[in-house]
Amino acid sequence: MWTFQQVIDAFWTSDIWLPPNTKWSDLEPNDRVQYTDHRHLFYPLPMALVMLLLRYLLEKHCFSPFGVSLGIKSTKPKRAPSNDILEETFAKNSKWNHKEIVGLSKRLDWTERQVERWLRLRRSQGKPSTIVKFCESCWRCFYYTLSFHYGLLFLWSKPWLWNIHYCWIGYPHQGVTRDTWWYYMLSLSFYWSLAVSQFFDVKRKDFWQMFVHHICTICLLSFSWICNFHRIGTLVLLTHDCGDIFLEVAKMAKYAKYQKLCDIISVIFIVVWLITRIGLFPFWILYSTSVDAPRVVNQMFPAYYIFNGLLFLLLLLHLYWTHLILKIAFISWNSGKMDGDIRSSSSDLDDSNESILDIPNGTIPNGTT
C-alpha cells in the first residue's frame, strides 16, 4: 500500500516531467536564473476571483451604461402566461412540430396562433437580453485587447518572437522574466474565471466544446509552466488573442445594430482567424514543437508527448470552428450581411439565426510544449 508521499513522489518524478539527465534540483531558482515554480500555479485561483469581481464592476458601471448609450435596451423579455399543460410539454421538448401544436390547441381550446405565441414567449423568457450579451462581449474584448498588447509589447524584445528556434536553444535552462510571469498568471486567472463563468454566461450550442477548450488551455498553460516551456507558450497566447478582439468587436457592433461595421469587422475577423489559427498555429507553432524541438533537445520525455497531443486536440477544435465559420460566412454572404451566430444561444427562438459572431469566444490555447 503506497503512502500519500510515495504517490506524490511518483507523480512528480523528473523522468516524466523533465528531459533525461535533468533533475528538479537543476531547475531550482538561484542568483543567476529564476526558473518557473510549480507552486505559483496556485496564484491564479484567487486571482480568478478578482477577475470575476472586476468583470462584475465593469459590466455594471461601464459596459452596461455604454450599451444603453448606444441604444441597446436592457428590458427583459415578456413572460409567457402560466399554463401547467404547456409547461409540462415544454419541459419534455421545447421544439414543437405542427402536429403537436394542433393537438395542444384542441386540448386547451385555444387557437393554433395562441399556442405558437405562448411557445415564442416561453422560449424568449429564458433568453438573455441583448445588453447582457453586449456586456459579456465588452468584457472579453477588454481582456483580449489588454492581453494581446501587453504580450506584443514585452515579446517585441525577446529573441524567440523573431526566431522560434530560441524557444528550444538552451532548454531546459531558460529563466523566466517578470513580464513572462505576469503574462502567464493573468492568462491562467482569466481562463479559470471563464471555466467558472461559462455556466452562468450566455449558453451556446458549443458549450461543451468550449468547456473542453478552456480545460485544455489551463492544462497546457500549467504543464508548460511546470516543464519550463514558457517561451513557446507566450507565442501561442499572442497568436490567439489578436483574433478574439475582432470577434468581440463584431458582436458588440451587431448588438448595437451597426450592421455595416459588423460586416466589416466580421470579414477582418475571418481573415485574422485563418492566418493565426489555421496558418501560424499549425505551420509555425506546431511545426516547431513537433519537428524543431526534438532536433534541438534531442531526447524528449513523456510529458512532452502529452502536451503536443493536447496541442493537436486544440488544432482539431480550430478546424471544427473554421468549418462552421466558413459555412455560415458563405450563407451570410449570399444573404447580404454577416449577422447571426455560429454559436447561437441555446435559448434562441429561431435555430436558423446563426452567424459568424457567436463562434468560439477566443482563448485558444496557451501554454504548450
User: What is residue 350's predicted lDDT score, i.e. its pLDDT?
Assistant: 35
Give residue-wise pLDDT tens across range 266-284: 999 999 999 999 999 999 9
> How far is the C-alpha of 97 from the C-alpha of 106, rounded, in Å?
15
Give residue-wise pLDDT tens across range 240-257: 899 999 999 999 999 999
* SS3 of residue 204 by DSSP: strand
Instruction: Tell me: cis bond preceding 172? Omega within 30 of 0 counts.
Output: yes
User: What is residue 142's predicted lDDT score, i.e. its pLDDT?
Assistant: 97
Domains detected in the chain: 40-72+132-335 (no CATH), 84-125 (1.10.10.60)
User: What is residue 353's predicted lDDT score, i.e. its pLDDT?
Assistant: 40
User: What is residue 363's predicted lDDT score, i.e. its pLDDT?
Assistant: 35
DSSP per-residue string spanning 99-149 = HHHHHHHHHHT--HHHHHHHHHHHHHHTSPPHHHHHHHHHHHHHHHHHHHH
Give residue-wise pLDDT tens across range 5-44: 777 777 788 888 888 888 888 888 777 788 888 889 999 9
User: What is residue 358's predicted lDDT score, i.e. its pLDDT?
Assistant: 52
Q: Which residues of the chain have pLDDT under 50?
A: 340-354, 359-369
User: What is residue 83's predicted lDDT score, i.e. its pLDDT?
Assistant: 82
Pick from 30, 38, 12: nearest CA to 228: 38
Beta bridge partners, 204, equal 345
User: What is residue 1's predicted lDDT score, i.e. its pLDDT?
Assistant: 65
User: What is residue 349's predicted lDDT score, i.e. its pLDDT?
Assistant: 30
User: What is residue 165's predicted lDDT score, i.e. its pLDDT?
Assistant: 92
